[in-house]
Structure 1
Amino acid sequence: MNARTEPAEGDAAPARPPLLREFLLVAGLFLLYKSGRLLATDHTREAFRNAHRVWDLERAVRLPGEGAVQSLLLHGDVPVQAANTYYATVHFPATAAFLVWLYLRRPAHYVWARRVLAALTAAALVLHLAFPLAPPRMLAATGLVDTGRVYGPSVYGSPQTDQLSNQFAAMPSLHFGWALMVAVGLLVATRSHWRWLWLLHPLLTLLVIVGTANHYWLDSILAAALLGGALTVIRPAARTAAPGARVVVPAQRPALVEAGR
């Protein structure tokens, strides 16, 4: 049987959502999240009480100590400052670049990823309000160093005067949750054999947030569980051929016309 190449019928790119609407929607969701986080900034006593509970639970279930990761960073100024810089500068730009790339190159996957990120962030906000948590850098019992304050750069001021962020919203870690979604989204939306390297982003993020004492292990475990739930409920679009792709289809044989038989 002969074969020939024809354009795949599904090669036409799905229509992108209106750009202005998407910008306003994403910006509005982000501002709503930031405003919601600030509602829990005054729960200092409860946040420290919960921090002791989390720390004791991690020791009870024999999770590795966060200090083991931090000790690797404290061998010199360069690694610890690089970790602080990664924590301060990669989180939002990487997620924004991920959404922009999907919007421009994989619009069908963009809608799915935006919905998953919105669901994950909404669930995180509920937990931030219900379970305020001081990060390990604030808890003397951990023996950990606040690497941002000691070595710089730091994204946080004093908890008493910081009006731009809620430092008692450690659980779950959206640094890790968003990084993991970026990796998952790119694995789903791309075909390259090298795409598995995107998993280095959440892995590096995990080491950074723990090593800088901004999060406990459990913060990341819960973020991964919430993301898993969102991915279970919100399914990605069906895979479509990459732009310009061609598929091989069998050539049709000429019809046999039998006359007078």
Structure 2
Amino acid sequence: MKHPVAVTLRLESRPGLSPVLREFVLIAGLFGLYKLGRSLAQGKEPLAFQNAQLIRGLEAALHLPSEAWLQSLVPSAGAFTTLNVYYVGVHFPLMIAFLLWGFFGRPQPEYRWARNLLIVQTGLALVVHLLFPLAPPRMFPQWGFLDSMTVYGPSAYDGPSAGVANQFAAMPSLHIGWAVLIAYVVVRTGPRWIAIPAVLHALFTVAVVVLTANHWWLDGVAGTGLLLMAVAVVRPAPGRWT
């Protein structure tokens, strides 16, 4: 597999491609990997359920709080619906808005640094998705979990989104991984007035994915860990942080 940063650099150096078109090709290809990952993961459902038992046992050994117990504290159907709306409706649109803000509103070296972090983190996540398929907690009512998206809606796995969603790609959580990436980039390079909302979004995303039973704790840990790997690999943006 070609290194994603190397592919990015080659695209950046190609003559005849306008900057906007080049970025569109890169980002469209990145999001297109979701659909590819979904198709390649088909047929691994038994392994995904076995891996869930492994993750549940590991979390118990680490004495992590029970996701099922925390979910039982959600007070109402309306609260579940709100959490579901955030899970379904914020993840992709906010990342697109973040990239547009970076491309049109921030210095290009900073934008390219952030975009390359995203490419490396997402590429690594897709490798993990394929090597370690994992069923999310909501598929285990016998362990006390409620599939809030099915019961209360809206669901990320119905309608148009069903064609790109891989239900057995819980590990790592890119909901958390991307939210932490946005917070990290904004804190490092962005204006101070949006740093706090960016951090709050990352924290709220952790709560959302757990309370909707879409991810295990360790999924979020893994998503954040892949960001740290991307930070170690991608050359930081030059110049003074603002």
Shorter-chain TM range is: 0.7 to 0.9
Quote the Cα distance in structure 1 between the aligned partners of 2:59 and 2:26: 38
User: Could you tell me which residue of structure 2 aligns to residue 105 of structure 1?
Assistant: 105
What amino acid is aligned across from residue 199 of structure 2 in structure 1? L
User: Could you tell me which residue of structure 1 aligns to residue 172 of structure 2?
Assistant: 172
Higher RCO by CA contacts (8 Å cutoff, separation 6 or greater): 1
Q: Deviations over 1:6-55 (max 9, x none)?
A: xxxxxxxxxxx700111011101211232123211211111101111111
User: Could you tell me which residue of structure 1 aligns to residue 72 of structure 2?
Assistant: 71
Quote the Cα distance in structure 2 between the aligned partners of 1:193 and 1:94: 17
Gap regions ≥5 residues in structure 2: 1-17
Where do 1:15-94 residues align within 5 Å?
Answer: 18-73=19-74, 75-94=75-94
Q: Quick check: 1:128–1:169 contact (8 Å CA) kept in 2?
A: yes
Quote the Cα distance in structure 2 between the aligned partners of 1:194 and 1:128: 32
Change (3 A) 1:60 1:184: same
Quote the Cα distance in structure 1 between the aligned partners of 2:132 and 2:69: 26
User: Could you tell me which residue of structure 2 aligns to residue 255 of structure 1?
Assistant: none
> What is the Cα deviation at residue 141 of structure 1?
4.1
What amino acid is aligned across from residue 81 of structure 1 in structure 2? T
Q: TM-score, normalised by structure 1?
A: 0.80
Quote the Cα distance in structure 2 between the aligned partners of 1:184 and 1:211: 23
Quote the Cα distance in structure 1 between the aligned partners of 2:112 and 2:70: 36
> What is the Cα deviation at residue 194 of structure 1?
5.8
What amino acid is aligned across from residue 219 of structure 1 in structure 2? D
Quote the Cα distance in structure 2 between the aligned partners of 1:94 and 1:194: 13
Structure 1 or 2: more helix by fraction = 2
Gap regions ≥5 residues in structure 1: 1-16, 243-261
After TM superposition, where is structure 1 displaced by more than 6 Å over at least 4 residues in a row?
Answer: none
User: Could you tell me which residue of structure 2 aligns to residue 218 of structure 1?
Assistant: 218
Q: Deviations over 1:94-151 (max 9, x none)?
A: 1110110010111221101111011011111001100110100002343110000001
Quote the Cα distance in structure 2 between the aligned partners of 1:240 and 1:224: 25
Quote the Cα distance in structure 1 between the aligned partners of 2:170 and 2:118: 18
Change (3 A) 1:35 1:81: same
Quote the Cα distance in structure 2 between the aligned partners of 1:206 and 1:46: 25
Quote the Cα distance in structure 1 between the aligned partners of 2:97 and 2:78: 26
What amino acid is aligned across from residue 33 of structure 1 in structure 2? Y
Moved more, 137-146 or 113-122: 137-146
Where do 1:121-200 residues align within 5 Å?
Answer: 121-157=122-158, 163-192=163-192, 195-200=195-200
Quote the Cα distance in structure 2 between the aligned partners of 1:163 and 1:179: 23
Matched length = 222
Change (3 A) 1:177 1:241: closer
What amino acid is aligned across from residue 83 of structure 1 in structure 2? L
Q: Quick check: 1:133–1:168 contact (8 Å CA) kept in 2?
A: yes
Q: Quick check: 1:37–1:125 contact (8 Å CA) kept in 2?
A: no
Q: Quick check: 1:41–1:167 contact (8 Å CA) kept in 2?
A: no
Quote the Cα distance in structure 1 between the aligned partners of 2:63 and 2:235: 35
User: Could you tell me which residue of structure 2 aligns to residue 246 of structure 1?
Assistant: none
Quote the Cα distance in structure 2 between the aligned partners of 1:47 and 1:189: 38
What is the aligned-residue RMSD (CA, Å)?
A: 1.9
Quote the Cα distance in structure 2 between the aligned partners of 1:92 and 1:79: 21
Quote the Cα distance in structure 2 between the aligned partners of 1:193 and 1:156: 35
Quote the Cα distance in structure 1 between the aligned partners of 2:115 and 2:57: 36
Query: How high is the sequence identity, in percent, across the aligned residues?
Result: 46
Q: Which has the larger radius of gyration?
A: 1
